[in-house]
Chain A
Amino acid sequence: MIEFNNIKKKFGELEVLKGIDFEVTLGKVTAVLGPNGSGKTTLIKSLLGMVFPDSGNIHLDGYRLNGKADYRNKIGYLPQIARFPENLTARELLKMVSSVRSTGSNEMDLLDRFGLESYLDKKLLHLSGGTRQKINIVMALMFDAEYLILDEPTTGLDPIALKMLKQVIEEQKADGKTILITSHILNFVEEVADEVVFLLEGHIHYQGSIAKLITATNTTNLESAIARLMEDRDV
């Protein structure tokens, strides 16, 4: 289980997180939503140990994050931007990344699924953005980690790859994985997520299931529900 307790973070004068409390439910897909600058990325980066919160703490399976790196063996992370060392081949990159983990990796099946085998010996410089994003997805999934954090996973994907991504998320969920997603594409979130956390200006404005949110806001889909939440706040 992932627990965030009263997380606060300031960058200079800008207070990005103003006391975030929430728990990520095990075995579910939770989407963190919010406009640009709402603190989504900062929240996820705090969990990954890239950003140090000013106060509050984060627990993962009861272990309090304290600056050590080992707990990240349990996490598979898909960053938003797929940029790698340009002159390495995809094969070398995968080898490098699997060499940094103590757990074994299983990339062959994933490479096959995303049709990446023929690209393995090409320099990453020569691969398209979409292909690099597929490699990114493979790297996030290949360690069979218990927790998956996907930051804008749909960026640059073609419709076939997008379909495959949804399928993979479904499978991972069926495998009992806990998945945390950020995305701007609300249709995608509605399709894959069970729960949403809506962040606005450093506070959580809604946390719960998508169905409840739609009912509570008296709308028909997630997009209108989120729009309603934002309008209500402005009034």
Chain B
Amino acid sequence: MFNIIRYTFYDLLRSRWSIFYMLFFMITSSALLFLSNDLGNAIISLMNILLILAPLVGTIFGVIFYYNSSDFTELLLAHPLKRSTIFLGQLYGLCISLSLSLVIGLGLPFLFYGLLYSDAIFDFLILLVDGVVLTFIFVGLAYIIALKNDNKVKGFGYALLMWLAFAILYDGMLLVIMMKFQDYPLDTFSLVSTVLNPIDLSRILILLKLDISALLGYTGALYQQFFGTIFGLIISFGLLLIWSLLPSGLVLKIATAKDF
């Protein structure tokens, strides 16, 4: 599998889209750092961008990469390779290359700004972890959708819909439900609903670390109250890890049974 990861990674690293993605984060984080002149504020602003953008880019790259490489995948399938080797190799190669663009794009400006001498270093690390985990989750989900849909237009549409649902619609729906049922106890419901959305989990993870109660929102505050800050951090991180493994498992299950 290592070989497939390595060459997928080489291929994508040289693609101009990976470079654009890296440059976007570099420019945005430099601008935010120099405008706000404060590491903490820049991290919060970047969090809002990252929580929307990392899933979106992961989703789009995931489907495009799957469809673009489908002919080559067929060639690999004719070689004595296990399907798990091919599909997980390509999936992780893509995730690692996107994560690298993200880490370098965000990391370099912060390093130059003096991150290492500040106490915001762990907050920043959590931001990076969030970005990487979201990339793995959404590339995986996009891959599942692409595997299930041979029609590219449909696959692309469903993938964007999936992103839209997690990034925007989900919170809207929760809000409506909470408004409608405000007379009932909703604690358990909102705790569970947060677990079901990796973007919400990522937001809570970083906000708990930053300890900004004003931005935590209802579910975040519940989390803090229910688990406490440290335990909340561990729980949300653990759940995110489970989330990032789930799509790979499903990719494997679908890919081993699929006709190509």
Question: A87 and B3 in contact (CB under 8 A), knowing A52-B259, A100-B80?
Answer: no
CB pair B72–A48 under 8 Å, yes or no, is no
Residues on the B chain within 8 Å of A87, using CB: 10-15
Q: How far is the CB of B75 from chain A (nearest CB, A)?
A: 5
A93 vs B7: C-alpha distance when bound (angstroms): 8
Question: A85 and B79 in contact (CB under 8 A), knowing A51-B259, A52-B259, A79-B74?
Answer: no
Interface residue tally of chain A, by bracket?
20 to 34
Is B77's beta carbon under 8 Å from chain A? yes
Q: How far is the CB of B2 from chain A (nearest CB, A)?
A: 9
CB pair B259–A11 under 8 Å, yes or no, is yes
Residues on the B chain within 8 Å of A70, using CB: 80
B260 contacts which of A51, A82, A99 (Cβ < 8 Å)? A51
CB pair B80–A73 under 8 Å, yes or no, is yes
Residues on the A chain within 8 Å of B75, using CB: 77, 79, 84, 97, 139
Is B194's beta carbon under 8 Å from chain A? no
Q: Enumerate B66-104 residues with CB–CB distance to A below 8 Å.
A: 69, 71-72, 74-83
Is B236's beta carbon under 8 Å from chain A? no
CB pair B79–A72 under 8 Å, yes or no, is yes
Is A158's beta carbon under 8 Å from chain B? no
Residues on the B chain within 8 Å of A36, using CB: none
Q: How far is the CB of B84 from chain A (nearest CB, A)?
A: 10
Interface residue tally of chain B, by bracket?
20 to 34
Residues on the B chain within 8 Å of A75, using CB: 78
A8 vs B61: C-alpha distance when bound (angstroms): 36
Is A235's beta carbon under 8 Å from chain B? no
Residues on the B chain within 8 Å of A73, using CB: 80
Q: Enumerate B4-47 residues with CB–CB distance to A below 8 Å.
A: 4, 7-8, 10-15
A83 contacts which of B14, B71, B76, B81 (Cβ < 8 Å)? B71
Question: A100 and B3 in contact (CB under 8 A), knowing A51-B260, A86-B11, A88-B11?
Answer: yes
Is A118's beta carbon under 8 Å from chain B? no
A86 vs B11: C-alpha distance when bound (angstroms): 7
Residues on the A chain within 8 Å of B80, using CB: 69-73, 100-102
- Chain B residue at smallest Cβ distance from A124: B11
Is A174's beta carbon under 8 Å from chain B? no
Q: Enumerate A1-40 residues with CB–CB distance to B below 8 Å.
A: 11
- Chain A residue at smallest Cβ distance from B13: A87
Residues on the A chain within 8 Å of B3, using CB: 96, 99-100
Residues on the A chain within 8 Å of B13, using CB: 87
CB pair B7–A79 under 8 Å, yes or no, is no
Is A49's beta carbon under 8 Å from chain B? yes
Residues on the A chain within 8 Å of B11, using CB: 85-88
Residues on the B chain within 8 Å of A102, using CB: 80
A25 vs B3: C-alpha distance when bound (angstroms): 36
Residues on the A chain within 8 Å of B4, using CB: 96, 100
A48 vs B76: C-alpha distance when bound (angstroms): 11
Q: How far is the CB of A164 from chain B (nearest CB, A)?
A: 21
Residues on the B chain within 8 Å of A86, using CB: 11, 15
A73 vs B81: C-alpha distance when bound (angstroms): 9
CB pair A96–B78 under 8 Å, yes or no, is no
A73 vs B12: C-alpha distance when bound (angstroms): 28
Given contacts A50-B259, A69-B82, A86-B11, 17 further A-B contacts (CB under 8 A): A11-B259, A49-B78, A50-B74, A50-B78, A51-B260, A69-B80, A71-B80, A72-B79, A75-B78, A77-B79, A87-B15, A88-B10, A88-B11, A93-B7, A100-B3, A100-B4, A123-B14
B→A interface (CB under 8 Å): 3-4, 7-8, 10-15, 69, 71-72, 74-83, 257, 259-260
**A–B pairs, 26, beta carbons within 8 Å:** A48-B77, A49-B77, A50-B78, A51-B260, A52-B257, A69-B79, A69-B80, A69-B81, A71-B80, A79-B71, A81-B71, A82-B71, A85-B8, A85-B11, A85-B72, A86-B11, A86-B15, A87-B13, A87-B14, A88-B7, A88-B11, A92-B7, A93-B7, A96-B3, A101-B80, A123-B14
